[in-house]
Structure 1
Amino acid sequence: MSTATDRFVALRRAIVDDDRLGAAQRAQTLSELADGWLARLFADVPATTRRGYALVAVGGYGRRELLPGSDLDVLLLVTSRGDPGAVADAVFYPVWDAGLALDHSVRTLGQAVDVAASDLKAALGLIDARHVAGDEALTEKLRADVRDGWRKQAAARLPELAAMCRDRAAGVGELAHLLEPDLVQAYGGLRDTLALRAVTASWIADRPRTPEVDLARRWLLTVRDALHRTTGRRQDRLLFENQDDVAAKLGLLDADPLLRRVAEAGRSIAYASDVTWRDVERTLAGRRRRGRRQQLVRRPLAGGVDEYDGEVVLARDAEPARDAVLPLRAAAAAAQAGLVPSPQTLARLAAECPPLPEPWPTSGLDALVSLLGAGPGIVPVWDALEAAGLVVRWFPEWERIRYRATRTPVHRHTVDRHLVETAAVASRLTRRVARPDLLLLAALVHDLGKGVPGNHSEAGEPIAVALGRRLGLTEDDASTLGRLVRHHLLLPETATRRDPDDPATLATVVDAVGTREFLELLACLTEADATAAGPIAWTPLRSRLVGDLVERTGLVLAGAAPPEPARLTAEQATLAAAGTLAVRVTPPDGDAAGLATVTVVAPRGPRVLGVVAGVLALHRLDVRSASAYTAGDAVVLVWQVVARRGGGPDEVRLREDAARALGGSLDLGERLAARAAEWRGRVIAHARPRVELLRDVSADATVLEIRAHDEPGLLHRVATALSGPGVVIRSAVVGTLGSEAIDVFYLVDGAGAPLSAAAEETAVDAARAALAGADDGAP
């Protein structure tokens, strides 16, 4: 590298590492440093060679927003005279030598303008073109031509840009409600602020002139700057493992206030984007109407509420000052029609309507239920109500869970958005229950307990009861709402973490639900909650397990005798009677999301479960569930597995390795330890493993639950450790939820009775020792 390049690299490093600089000042300083360096490189080219050329900064560099991990976006604007290669080489090669990412192009003025006219992303970058070196008149001509072309094509390009923003939002999600948000690509992120700039440049519409949007943009740039400096590279997604470090760099206590401020910024930008795109759509529609000489008309939607020009507005005879229910009625009408109240309408409703009396009038409760039953239409309307301050006015409890993160592998949204999404899903299930109103209300409030200390299901019950009374529910209905909140995790936790053949399992559910009507409500709430949480929470397997539990519970509530414990199939019984090792593989069916069934029959022994689990791990088969049955001197293990790599389970090889491992000629421990060590080198665990004895779960077994970040051989290590002298694993309920292993073991002594206190302590210690390796890297 040259002396000038060495100096540039050193100065750039010093700027990036200087904690005294704010993000905006650092971006400005880095941009100015790059300007000076590139200008010197350009000036070193002989004058006759560079005459008529211009070096232009575009994109983030053009906006002087050069962050530590940003690319240098540079356009070499050339004339038709001479070969631009000498100039390009003189400028671009030193950038590569300096180790910087360079996004570059070499074009004539006409080519650049044509690209802007045909390529939307290129046009967005060129709108922010800025002169760096060379022929400044050429740069100004480019800026003028690109902006003029953008304005002339706005009627066609803006709908294209709007569609691009919608597609990006659908694929990435909304910044305000993601747990690991992408600061650039998520809806409400920095990319949307560029879209707002492009709309303003089109002269079709202007973005809302609110200081919140500018402040939000500056904050996201600040967080992005800290993220780049924390990770030492360009990274725009705020991952769990980086959040506390970024928070510390910004002087915040931990990740929670960081994520809340990011969410608030994202919501401000997203709401401004919503309003702006509706303005664009109305303006373009108005132009088309004028061409066809059509007039706008008002369409009544509800009492005091009309649809006008694609928005919900107040009717001319509306009396907000005398109608406390009007905001709810307007919101419900908007959501049902797939529209959104205008910002002006919401501002007027918030300012003029009196507060709702307590308890709410029946019309208010009806409007709320109608809003919640609108399906996907509720989401944009709820966001608009939040922006106007109406949601917290109706539900003060909402403030405690706004933008609140839930750091689990299951949820993809913050608590507040999850509740709204759950209501949207529940609206599809209302015809399966006798009380759809209670289902929708439970969907909206089931996680309000996450805003207070303690178990959120237990803490949420009194919150839901009090809220139900305030809404005008009867005492019985308010109590039912509270019970739905209290038990909203009962079905999935029981179905996936308890032995279905233990009589205590079914008895617990029957006692909790009490009636078939409540069971139906709870089943639909479970499905809505899990579906809204994300694909990990409601897999075909989990749906089937919960469905089986609901069916068995329903039969008992209907007066039928408790179902008999699961029996072996005829084939399994035959294999067990033979008394030898056998392996059978059933390939995935069309509804099992890639799950294959592996059945292993082997002579009874204390190591069988652990050994077979190890063999499955050795074959790169991830266990999703497992069950164990005894038949005389044999044990029958049924595993639901999915292959990490193509091909699926190989029945012959599985039997060969299981025979070797049970016979002692295959060292599973050493081979799986090496694979686990390799895995830990690539994955960061976010919490320490947990071992817990579950009391009052079974009357005739000791129940031990382990929760840990899943890794190769984990089940093998734990099951092997638990199978010590005097301890028998009667059954195991094995589950994997995303990256989280949740395994429950039913333990008995040699006589088939629950373990003694001393044996329990020994089992807990053994499980913890087996999990010790999973602590690596956990906070």
Structure 2
Amino acid sequence: MTSTEVTTESEESGPSGYAAARLRLLQEKARSGPPRRAALAALTDGWLNALFTTAAEETGVGGAALVAVGGYGRGELSPRSDLDLLLLHDGSADAAALAALADRVWYPVWDLGLALDHSVRTPAEARRTAGEDLKVQLGLLDARPVAGDLGLAAGLRTAILADWRNQAPKRLPALDELCRERAERMGELQFLLEPDLKEARGGLRDATALRAIAASWVADAPREGLSEARRVLLDARDALHLTTGRATDRLALQEQDQVAAELGLLDADALLRQVYEAARTVSYATDVTWREVNRVLRARSVRPRLRAMLGGGKPVPDRTPLADGVVEADGEVVLARTARPEKDPVLTLRAAAAAAESGLPLSRHLVRHLASSARPLPVPWPAEAREELVTLLGAGEATVGVWEALESEGIITRLLPDWERVHCRPQRNPVHTWTVDRHLVETAVRAATLTRRVGRPDLLLVAALLHDIGKGWPGDHSVAGEVIARDMAARIGFDRHDVGVIATLVRHHLLLIETATRRDLDDPATVRSVATAVGTTSTLELLHALTEADALATGPAAWSTWRASLVSDLVRRAAAVLAGEATPEPEPAAPSAEQERLAIEALRTGEPVLALHAQTEAPSEDGAPEPVGVELLIALPDRPGVLPAAAGVLALHRLTVRAADLRAVELPTELGDSAGLLLLSWRVAAEYGSLPQAARLRTDLVRALDGSLDIRARLAEREAAYPRRRGVKAPPPRVTVAAAGSQVATVIEVRAQDAPGLLHRIGQALEQSSVRVRSAHASTLGANAVDAFYVTDADGNPLPDDRAARVAGEVEKALG
């Protein structure tokens, strides 16, 4: 059925016929994308034309037109799009007749449940409103007649375009500000896990803004790939509307697989990668276009004064040399007139490094020229090319814009072929802020601030750029990344030794943070394993800086002063081992004065004793000590069930456990005998910022131990009320025995979805397995918890392999 046939049927059948034809159109699998949007607009035009024509005859109103504006005016009707309509009239009809005409058009639309944005104005009123409201003016730029007096509608469109062009010096800066405010509020589409296809930066709003800029005749957007990017975003919105049945632009997690299937894509990752590619194209075009707009407007304001100063002569823009073959002209980096990209293979990286160092953007024409005519670099790269890459990576924040400009024309993939695998690749972990490729660049930006701490800044910067390069391949990304990084470092021109160091950094880039937060640093086996993996003090120094840069570039949940203190402690211990210092065998640490005081009090009363202390480290730059957490000390007579009871009480009081240490001590009694006590040292943080009183914690702990407080029931109530995302299913928990994790205990590692009372349930399972918990180390990243428990048998010895496996299985079963 053609669009004309559908329109004819709608005219003959009225609203019910239009609704039926509309439903059939949306259900046609063979017609989607631009053809379906055009057919839907044509179908709607025909129906509204019939409505308006009949209504105009019945009310006797002449000199009026029905005009589509905004998205409907552009013919971009998605299944649940609003109908943006303007009833335009010449002012000759009386108000009652005009109101009757409007009612006969608006009410049938509402009766079908379609969203309607409507107004009734004369051309003069429409122009005046547009002059006062930028959003109204933008909508009218796409005005298209649907029915009635076509000349009236055409006259309005001509006047609106003329006003827009005449007012461009004032309106374009206002539009720029509007786009910036929206981007600040909604974020960048290409990096969001649940992006808004319309409002986020790089979305459909920005694509529409580019059309408005082109209509002003001040500047035009880069056309390469822009129409295709717009199509991808519109297709994704169509599929989202059909999948959800709602007028939504937010691509929520639970709907992404269904939207991908509607579009014929493999999975949600394929969908996001396609959407991110489109958003990146729109974002880059937006950056380039606004830069050109500002340049033109600036030149218009300056040119009359220059001409007056120069006696009417035409000014010649300054060209400031930046590097060999590279100059600055009018605020952009361009090629010198003598530059020959086809004969100078290093020119691309030299221009990029010069732009980043000077904080200037690369000219779009320069990037396109280099992409089409630059001579490929030999492999391995010459020393100058390697140095220019390091300079580019070490420029800090300015690196990002330059790198994205090179990526927009495929230059990065030509320089580093393995980059294609991570380009626009989403990361399905809410801890991560960026896509894989942008995260790598951001890590290099963070590493640039740490280069004064290391002896080989070049190795740090390149390792930062490559540390997650393995995420484009199946399996452990650190293992795959080591192989890829080795090849890429050799390609870049590093010698064999440096290639080995970069490969080691990539392979072990998670080693320090995972060990520091999940292992017992007082266990010599922990420190020796790190020292063995790293090999040298210089590599350890680089790995320390890379760990911090990686975490800072991941997101706010990945790094804290507490994590930094743990990593620094591990690095200090590993450096001592690498320097040849003997590692002492583990001995029970003597209780601190505070712990001893609490232990004596617990021994005297026979009840738990608690104390809360805020911990701080050295003063920060502003002179104030920075908190590293709150220490909760508990001393109580040794008895079964202490770990699950204490963990449960902390969960009830909404305290997050970052680390825990449990030790049994013997203290002499007044009768000369010795009594067993448990000392628990917890590092905790309040979920909502305020800590409970120690007395309340103690009261609930006593009740939990004597059975009068049913922690399991209370936590079950909390869990039932916990908000969950519809359709999002967490992966099952995984409990493993860490091989060679310790010489003094068996290390049970638990990976699970974080939830209230998780540590309580783990403690219960370990308690039921009749093992003793020597220490516990909790680490939470986003929705994922990774906890390690050092356990022994009743005599304090590591568990035999078969028993350790059974304990791990019981814990996993309990969590499942």
TM-score in terms of structure 1 length: 0.90
d(CA) in 2 for partners of 1:174, 1:154? 26
| Residue 567 to residue 649, structure 1, CA distance change in 2 (3 Å) | farther
Q: Does 1:615 align with 2:649?
A: yes
Structure 2 partner of 1:265: 278
Q: Does 1:663 align with 2:702?
A: no
- Output one character per residue of 1:495-533: Cα deviation in whole Å (capped at 9) or x when no partner: 111122322222222333344332221111111111111
Cα deviation for residue 170 of structure 1 reads: 4.8
- Which residue number corresponds to residue 216 of structure 1? 229
Q: After alignment, is 5-14 or 528-537 more displaced? A: 5-14
What is the identity, as a one-letter code, of the residue corresponding to 1:572? Q
| Letter in structure 1 aligned against 2:331 | G
CA contact (8 A) 1:581 1:600 kept: yes
Which runs of structure 2 are paired with 1:373-388 in the superposition (5 Å)?
373-388=394-409
Q: How does 1:154-165 map to 2 (within 5 A)?
A: 154-165=168-179
- Cα displacement (A) at 1:37: 5.1
Report the CA distance shift for 1:571/1:218 in structure 2 as closer, same or farther (over 3 A): same
Q: Is the aligned partner of 1:570 residue 2:593? A: yes
Q: Secondary structure at the match of 1:365?
A: helix
Q: CA offsets per residue over residues 669-725 of structure 1, 9 Å max, x none?
A: 223223323436545234332222211111222212222222222222222122114
CA drift of 1:220 comes to 1.5
Cα offset, 1:394, TM superposition: 1.9
Pairwise mapping of residues 217-236 of structure 1 onto structure 2 (< 5 A)? 217-236=230-249
Native 8 Å contact 2:429 2:782 kept in 1: no
Write the distance in 2 (CA, Å) between the matches of 1:209 and 1:460: 36
Q: Which moved more, 1:527-536 or 1:589-598?
A: 589-598
Give, in whole Å, the separation in 2 of the partners of 1:485 and 1:435: 15
CA RMSD between the two structures: 3.1
Could you tell me which residue of structure 2 aligns to residue 776 of structure 1? none
Deviation at 1:265? Answer: 2.1
1:583 maps onto 2:615 in alignment: no
CA offset digits 1:526-575 (Å, max 9, x no partner): 11111111112123332333233234434555566659887654333322
**Matching residue of 1:747:** 791
Residue 60 in structure 1 maps to residue 71 in structure 2 = yes
Give the distance between the partners of 2:665 and 2:23, measured in 1 at CA. 69
2:105 is the counterpart of 1:71:
no
Given candidates 762, 766, 771, the residue that maps to 2:810 is: 766
Q: Distance in 2 between matches of 1:400 and 1:234?
A: 34
Name the structure 1 match of 2:801.
Answer: 757
- Distance in structure 2 (CA, Å) of the matches to 1:50 and 1:594: 75
Provide closer, same or farther for how the CA distance between residues 11 and 388 of structure 1 changes in structure 2, counting only shifts above 3 A. Answer: closer
Contact in 2 for aligned 1:241/1:686 (Cα 8 Å):
no
Distance 1:674 1:41 in 2: 56
Q: Distance in 1 between matches of 2:270 and 2:806?
A: 41
Query: Any conservation in 1 of the 2:55–2:105 contact (CA below 8 Å)?
Result: no
Q: 1:585 to 1:679 in 2, by over 3 A?
A: same
Does the 8 Å contact 1:606/1:729 carry over to 2? Answer: no
Alpha-carbon deviation of 1:41?
5.8
Contact in 1 for aligned 2:443/2:552 (Cα 8 Å): yes
- Alignment partner for residue 143 of structure 1, among 127, 136, 157? 157
Deviations 1:159-199 (A, max 9, x none): 33234434444554444444443322333322221111011
For 1:243, which of 235, 252, 256 is the aligned residue?
Answer: 256
Q: Which moved more, 1:522-531 or 1:185-194?
A: 185-194
2:439 to 404, 407, 418: 418
In 2, Cα distance between equivalents of 1:291 and 1:686? 65
Structure 2: gaps (5+ residues): 1-12, 307-314, 617-623, 667-675
**Mapping of residues 358-397 of structure 1, within 5 Å:** 358-397=379-418
Equivalent AA in structure 2 for residue 286 of structure 1: A
* Distance of aligned partners of 1:56 and 1:610 in 2 relative to their CA distance in 1, 3 Å threshold: farther
Alpha-carbon deviations, 1:406-439, whole Å to 9, x = none?
Answer: 3223222222111111111111111121211111
**After alignment, is 418-427 or 563-572 more displaced?**
563-572
Cα 1:123–1:326 shift into 2, 3 Å: same
Match of 2:4 in 1: none
Report % sequence identity: 52
Give 1:458 shift.
2.2
CA distance in 2, matches of 1:575, 1:318: 76
Is residue 283 of structure 1 aligned with residue 326 of structure 2?
Answer: no
Matching of residues 536-615 of structure 1 within 5 Å:
536-557=557-578, 568-579=591-602, 580-586=607-613, 596-615=630-649
Unaligned runs of 5+ in 1: 773-779
Query: Once the 2 structures are TM-superposed, how far is the Cα of residue 51 of structure 1 from its aligned partner?
Result: 5.6
Indicate conservation of the 8 Å contact 2:440/2:467, yes or no. Answer: yes
Structure 1 residue 750: Cα displacement: 0.9
Q: Distance in 1 between matches of 2:26 and 2:590?
A: 66
Whole-angstrom CA distance in 1 between matches of 2:24 and 2:734: 44
Shift of 1:492: 0.8
CA contact (8 A) 2:214 2:221 kept: yes
Aligned residue pairs, count: 769
CA 1:127–1:323: 2 relative to 1, 3 Å: same
Q: Which amino acid aligns with 2:270?
A: P
CA distance in 1, matches of 2:758, 2:241: 34
1:522 aligns with 543
Do the aligned residues in 2 keep the contact of 1:614 with 1:715 (CA within 8 Å)? yes
Q: Bigger shift: 442-451 or 169-178?
A: 169-178
Q: Is contact 1:331–1:340 with CA below 8 Å preserved after alignment?
A: no
The 3 A distance-change label for structure 1 pair 229 and 279 is: same
Q: Which residue of 2 aligns with 1:22?
A: 32
Quick one: which of 748, 751, 764 aligns to 1:720?
Answer: 764
State the SS of the aligned residue for 1:375. Answer: coil
Cα distance in structure 2, aligned partners of 1:86 and 1:620? 61
In 2, distance between residues paired with 1:46 and 1:320? Answer: 69
Three-state SS of the structure 1 residue aligned to 2:795 is coil
Q: Secondary structure at the match of 2:205?
A: helix
Contact 1:12 1:33 in 2 (8 A): yes
Inter-partner Cα distance in structure 2 for 1:643 and 1:136: 66
More deviation, 505-514/640-649: 640-649
Contact 2:737 2:805 in 1 (8 A): no
Tell me: CA distance 1:64–1:755, structure 2 relative to 1, closer, same or farther (3 Å).
same
Write out per-residue CA displacement over residues 440-473 of structure 1, whole angstroms, 9 at most, x where no aligned residue. 1111111122233332222222332332233222
Contact 1:540/1:591 (<8 A) preserved: no
Match among 308, 329, 352 for residue 308 of structure 1:
329
C-alpha deviations, 1:338-377, integer Å up to 9, x for none?
A: 2233233233333443322233222111111111111111
Distance 2:159 2:566 in 1: 63
Match of 1:196 in 2: 210
Distance 2:427 2:580 in 1: 40
After alignment, is 378-387 or 91-100 more displaced?
91-100
User: Would you say 1:674 and 2:717 are equivalent positions?
Assistant: yes
CA distance in structure 2 between the aligned counterparts of 1:397 and 1:366, rounded to whole angstroms = 20
The equivalent of 2:370 in structure 1 is 349
Contact between 2:333 and 2:351, CA under 8 Å: does it hold in 1? yes
1:733 corresponds to 2:777: yes
1:33-182 matches, within 5 Å, as: 33-36=43-46, 38=48, 43-44=54-55, 47-48=58-59, 54-77=65-88, 81-82=94-95, 91-92=105-106, 95-105=109-119, 109-133=123-147, 136-182=150-196
With over 3 angstroms needed to count, the CA separation of the structure-2 counterparts of 1:286 and 1:612, relative to structure 1, is same
- Structure 2 contact 334–366 (Cα < 8 Å) conserved: yes
- Structure 1 stretch displaced more, 608-617 or 525-534: 608-617
Provide closer, same or farther for how the CA distance between residues 595 and 35 of structure 1 changes in structure 2, counting only shifts above 3 A.
Answer: farther
- What is the correspondence of 1:689-704 to structure 2 with a 5 Å cutoff? 689-704=733-748
